[in-house]
Structure 1
């Protein structure tokens, strides 16, 4: 039997999502925590933050 492939459901970032992401960036919230709150992957969040030109997560 062939394996079922899970279809990736992409969701666009709304203005509210971007606003929330900026707030988390300013608060230095860990990316894992942001991912759970927004129900998005860490990679997705990092890519969006990079495209907006803002740091994200814990910085050393």
Structure 2
């Protein structure tokens, strides 16, 4: 469980970083701020956490 949670947190932070770089690089509307991408990353993290639970050991 600890391993799954640590992988989820790592991938969530990676997603947050890549999403913000993409927003900056492609000039996405200014309404998309860090707060918006944090919410996106949290939903992504929940998805990854559940997905890692179904992975074969």
Same fold (TM over 0.5): no
Greater fraction of residues in helix: 2
Question: Which structure is richer in relative contact order (CA contacts within 8 A, separation 6 or more)?
Answer: 2
Could you tell me the TM-score, scaled by structure 2's length?
A: 0.30
